[in-house]
Amino acid sequence: MLARLTALSLVFAFCGSAQTTLRQAAAQRALPIGAAADADEYGQANKLNIPAYATTLSTQFSMLEPENAMKWDVTQPGQNTFNFEPADKLVAFAQANHMVVRGHNLCWHSQLPAWLGPYAQTATPAQMSTVLQNHINTVVGHFQGQVFAWDVVNEPFNDPATGVLPDLRNSIWYNQPGIGQSGTGYIEQALRWAHAADPNALLFINDYNLEAPGAKFNALYAMVKDFVSRGVPINGVGFEMHLTLGSYPSSTGLAQNIQALYALGLQVHITEMDVRLQVDSNGNASAADLQSQAAQYQRIMTVCLQNPGCTAFQVWGVSDGNSWIPGSFPGFGAALPFDVNYQPKPAFNSLISAMQTVTPTLNSANIVNAANYKGGSVAPGELVTIFGANFGPPSLAGAQLDSNGRVASTLSGTQVLFDGTPAPLIYSLAGQVSAVVPYEVAGKTQTVVQYVYNNVQSNTVTVPVVPAVPGIFSQNSLGTGPGSMLNPDNTLNTAQNPIAAGSYVQIFATGAGTIAGGAVDGAPAPGAGAQTLTVTATVNGVNAPILYAGPAPGEVNGVLQVDLTIPSGTPSGPQAVVVLVNGVASQGGVTVAVK
Ligand code: G3I
């Protein structure tokens, strides 16, 4: 049941400390929180050897992104001469500190090595295509399995936008001379090459000034909508979020853009947030501006937490002393949550506050059968999984028994209420919790569900109640393939350990509705029993005699056990099994291995 927990949950482990860190607070939101980081690229002293830098990076963040070390001018300083040493140091640091790595970037008009500009002057588009493909293959291949998301193409759009699609800026990759593709073709090609080099990496297009509705966002949206419609490999869009107090996106507009991309199935990462302030000759900003800055950080984090499409939050530098701002905007600085001495600023506190107070969002569509992940309704005693309630335990909390020996309905600060009744909790983790629908909903047509963590309540949603909605547990925890089934000798039924026709197999499911004679929420089934409703089953489409159908002895009430005889004549191999409760069928695609 737990297989759907993301690997990212591994980065959310942390040891407690006096002051809550950004990393600890974000772990309770299932939100990777990152910083742009440097090692010794450009021959500078390795910043990772600065104790305060390294400590701030590893304790305050669960993600890092090389600010420059993976860019062309560092990784391919000479044609076909690659240098990954600085980036490897950053990746090693991340791995040592259980952090994930965002890669940045594979295709950009800026920070190109000295050889590439002159080369592009005389190269043909075919030659440029070879150069770009070779770079992407080599770089993504080198970091395969170490970078969970890439900014594949960086800042491709005109700024300011012209409003004429595709509205792409001139560049050696697009049209000067380009790689032989028209319109957004070079971006599509870069995405396809990146996907081929690491099929598991998430692929993003990253740009600035996408955070508000307008012509630039429209150009981006038109491109990614086309890409999604044609199956071009793309997973999300990076909103850089470089702000100043005078200009920043409205919460409504930012949410609107996140939701528009989410509707396409795309994620949004806040990739490079900073809020530059006017500073004095010592680099200090006014107290008032620092408070205004804090309000902007809180606001952007709040919108991110309120929108499931926003799946990562990153600032562009570890501290004010490592920010690009002073060098690029004379008279400005103090842009990040930590000051030049790595001390938290008001912006740090406002990020923590947002992460500890923004109410988690409950979506009824994310309340699904724990065995087959189908939603839309619930049944009494059904084990359900609720995704997306993004405020919960930073690491997986397994079921606890209360003083009555029942599965507890409060787990690491979480509760799931059905019409106000706390449900037994099978496990809980920020963003994914599994509960047993209380039998009290029996006979109702709907139930009001609410999620609570550390006394912070989600919105409520109303879910239809049905007598039964069966799902069979499968070995892959995805609700497909070989079922979680036992042979008569209690060994797992597998292709290597099949069952003969005529013998019986023990199937485990949930969503079969009420138990004859009643059942106590969260209590272990005392022994053999029976369901109130009629249970039947088929194997390979043939009715299978039921030997037992009732609560699984010793398991929490709600787990259905069905012992059925494999009909004689059933062919050998994986055969489809369906359990029906009052004629309502479980999901297809679950099999039993027959000799
Ligand atoms: O210090 C070295 C110098 O020793 C060396 O000789 C020289 C060779 O080019 O490089 C110098 O390093 C500079 C580096 O920042 C470290 O400070 C580079 O010149 C300079 O180009 C580089 O600027 C980076 C900038 O991108 C380039 O456009 C910034 O660090 C970096 O923060 C910034 O990041 C970009 C993102 O990649 C994309 N989004 C916008 C963001 C801000 O521009």
pLDDT tens digits, residue range 11-20? 444 444 469 9
pLDDT the model gives residue 247: 80
The verdict on the CB of residue 114 being under 6 Å from ligand 1 is no
Q: How far apart are CA 125 and CA 179, in angstroms?
A: 4
**In DSSP terms, which residues pair with 398 in a beta bridge?**
427
- Residue 246 pLDDT class (50, 70, 90 cuts): confident
Residue linked to tokens 């029942």 = 406
pLDDT the model gives residue 1: 39
Q: Name the closest-CA residue to atom 32, ligand 1.
A: 324
Backbone phi, psi, residue 159, to 5°: -140, 115
The verdict on the CB of residue 67 being under 6 Å from ligand 1 is yes
| Averaged pLDDT, 155-167 | 97
The verdict on the CB of residue 68 being under 6 Å from ligand 1 is yes
The verdict on the CB of residue 503 being under 6 Å from ligand 1 is no
Per-position DSSP letters for 312-323, written without gaps between them: EEEESSSSGGG-
Q: Name the closest-CA residue to atom 3, ligand 1.
A: 42
pLDDT the model gives residue 15: 44
52, exposed or middle or buried, with CB in 10 Å at 0-12, 13-18, 19+? Answer: middle
pLDDT the model gives residue 7: 42
- What mean pLDDT is reported for the chain? 96
pLDDT the model gives residue 12: 47
Active site residue 155: yes
| Averaged pLDDT, 478-487 | 97
Q: Name the closest-CA residue to atom 12, ligand 1.
A: 42
The verdict on the CB of residue 314 being under 6 Å from ligand 1 is no
Rounded to the nearest angstrom, the distance between the alpha carbon of 215 and the centre of ligand 1 is 28
Q: Which two tokens stand for residue 514?
A: 């009420």
Predicted model pTM: 0.92
CB 543 within 8 A of CB 567: yes
Rounded to the nearest angstrom, the distance between the alpha carbon of 350 and the centre of ligand 1 is 29
The verdict on the CB of residue 240 being under 6 Å from ligand 1 is yes
The verdict on the CB of residue 110 being under 6 Å from ligand 1 is yes
Q: How far apart are CA 229 and CA 558, in angstroms?
A: 41
- Residue 461 pLDDT class (50, 70, 90 cuts): very high
The verdict on the CB of residue 211 being under 6 Å from ligand 1 is no
Ligand 1 atom at minimal distance to the Cα of residue 324: 32
Ligand 1 atom at minimal distance to the Cα of residue 43: 4
| Averaged pLDDT, 47-76 | 98
Q: Determine which of 16-20, 248-252, 334-338, 538-542 has the lowest per-residue pLDDT on average.
A: 16-20
pLDDT at 269 over 60: yes
**Given strand 425-429, what is the order of strands in its sheet?**
367-369, 383-387, 432-436, 425-429, 397-398
pLDDT at 224 over 70: yes
- Residue 82 pLDDT class (50, 70, 90 cuts): very high
Rounded to the nearest angstrom, the distance between the alpha carbon of 69 and the centre of ligand 1 is 10
pLDDT the model gives residue 188: 98
Rounded to the nearest angstrom, the distance between the alpha carbon of 110 and the centre of ligand 1 is 9
- Residue 498 pLDDT class (50, 70, 90 cuts): very high
pLDDT at 10 over 90: no
Mutation test residue for ligand 1: of 41, 42, 150, 239, the one with most atoms within 8 Å of CB: 42
Q: How far apart are CA 312 and CA 267, in angstroms?
A: 9
Q: Which two tokens stand for residue 553?
A: 């002895």
Q: Which two tokens stand for residue 248?
A: 């920043």
pLDDT the model gives residue 3: 42
The verdict on the CB of residue 111 being under 6 Å from ligand 1 is yes
Q: How far apart are CA 425 and CA 440, in angstroms?
A: 16
pLDDT at 230 over 60: yes
Give the CA dihedral 360, 365, 366, 369, nearest 10 degrees. 140
Closest CA to 422 of 376, 391, 469, 455: 455
Q: Name the closest-CA residue to atom 34, ligand 1.
A: 67
Q: Name the closest-CA residue to atom 35, ligand 1.
A: 67
- For 35, the 3-state DSSP assignment is strand
pLDDT tens digits, residue range 442-453? 999 999 999 999
Per-position DSSP letters for 217-244, written without gaps between them: HHHHHHHHHHHHHTT----EEEE--EEE
Per-position DSSP letters for 265-310, written without gaps between them: T-EEEEEEEEEEEE--TTSPPPHHHHHHHHHHHHHHHHHHHH-TTE
Q: How far apart are CA 77 and CA 70, in angstroms?
A: 11
Which of these is catalytic: 41, 65, 67, 155?
A: 155
Ligand 1 atom at minimal distance to the Cα of residue 327: 17
The verdict on the CB of residue 209 being under 6 Å from ligand 1 is no
pLDDT the model gives residue 11: 46
Active site residue 272: yes
The verdict on the CB of residue 45 being under 6 Å from ligand 1 is no
pLDDT the model gives residue 8: 46
pLDDT tens digits, residue range 507-564? 999 999 999 999 999 999 999 999 999 999 999 999 999 999 999 999 999 999 999 9
Query: What is the set of domains in the chain, with CATH numbers?
Result: 31-357 (3.20.20.80), 364-464 (2.60.40), 471-594 (2.60.40)
pLDDT tens digits, residue range 271-326? 999 999 999 999 999 999 999 999 999 999 999 999 999 999 999 999 999 999 99
Rounded to the nearest angstrom, the distance between the alpha carbon of 317 and the centre of ligand 1 is 12
pLDDT the model gives residue 166: 97
Rounded to the nearest angstrom, the distance between the alpha carbon of 262 and the centre of ligand 1 is 32
The verdict on the CB of residue 322 being under 6 Å from ligand 1 is no
CB within 8 Å of 133: residues ≥ 6 apart:
189, 193
Rounded to the nearest angstrom, the distance between the alpha carbon of 111 and the centre of ligand 1 is 7
- Residue 248 pLDDT class (50, 70, 90 cuts): confident
